[in-house]
Amino acid sequence: MSPKLLEYYLHTLAHLRPGQIAARAVREARRRLGVPSVWLPPEIGTNPPPCAPLKVRVDFPACHQFDARDIEKYRFTFLNESLEPGSPLDWRCRANSRLFRYHLHCFKYLQAAAAISPARALALINDWIAQNPEGAPDSWDPFPISCRLVNWIKCLSRPELSRYDLGAPLRSAHRQALWLERSLEFDLLGNHLLKNAKALLFCGLFFKDRHARRWLSAGVQLLTRELGEQVLADGGHFERSPLYHAMIVEDCLDLLNVCSELNDRLAAALCRLLLPLLPAMLRFLAAVTHPDGQICLFNDSALGVEASAGELGQYYENLTGRSSPRPLGPAWSFPATGYFVMAPRQGERLFIDCGPVGPDHQPGHSHCDTLSIELSLGGTRVIVDSGCFQYEEGEMRRYNRGNRGHNAVTIDGRNQSQVWGAHRCAKRARPVYGRLDAHPDGTLVFAGAHDGYRRLSGRPVHHRRIVRAASGYLIEDRVEGGGRHEIVSRLHINPELRVVLEGTSARISNREKLVATVHRLGPGTFRKGCGWYAPRFGLKKECVVLESSLTAHLPCRGGWLIEVGNGVAGVRERD
Is 521:513 a contact under the CB 8 Å cutoff? no
Q: What is the pLDDT of residue 551?
A: 97
Q: What span, in angstroms and rounded, lies between the C-alpha atoms of 484 and 359?
A: 33
Q: Which DSSP letter does residue 324 get?
A: P
187-327 CATH: 1.50.10.100
The structural domains of the chain, with segments of one domain joined by +, span 61-183, 187-327, 331-564
Q: What span, in angstroms and rounded, lies between the C-alpha atoms of 145 and 223?
A: 17
Percent of residues, the chain, with pLDDT higher than 70: 98
Q: What span, in angstroms and rounded, lies between the C-alpha atoms of 192 and 365?
A: 13
Residue 565: strand, helix, or coil: coil
Is 428:368 a contact under the CB 8 Å cutoff? no
In CATH, what class is 331-564? mainly beta
Is 379:292 a contact under the CB 8 Å cutoff? yes
**Same fold: 187-327 with 331-564:** no
3-state DSSP percent of the chain in helix, strand and coil, to 5: 35, 25, 40
> Is residue 32 very low, low, confident or very high in pLDDT (cuts 50, 70, 90)?
confident
User: Could you read off the pLDDT of 511-567 as tens digits, one per residue?
Assistant: 889 999 999 999 999 999 999 999 999 999 999 999 999 999 999 999 999 999 865
For residue 316, the Cα-to-chain-centroid distance in whole angstroms is 20
Better pLDDT: 266 or 297 = 297
Rg for the chain, CA atoms, rounded: 25
> Is the pLDDT confidence value at 16 over 60?
yes
User: Could you read off the pLDDT of 224-257 as tens digits, one per residue?
Assistant: 999 999 999 999 999 999 999 999 999 999 999 9
Q: What span, in angstroms and rounded, lies between the C-alpha atoms of 281 and 288?
A: 11
Helix extents (H) in 58-139 = 68-72, 98-106, 118-131
**Which residues on adjacent β-strands are paired with residue 531?**
543
Q: What span, in angstroms and rounded, lies between the C-alpha atoms of 154 and 106?
A: 13
Q: What is the pLDDT of residue 570?
A: 47
State the pTM of this model.
0.96
Q: What is the pLDDT of residue 571?
A: 44
Say which range, 286-290, 396-400, 511-515, 525-529, has the weakest mean pLDDT. Answer: 511-515
Residues 6+ apart with CB under 8 A from 73: 85
What type of residue is 263? N
Helix extents (H) in 132-189 = 142-156, 167-181
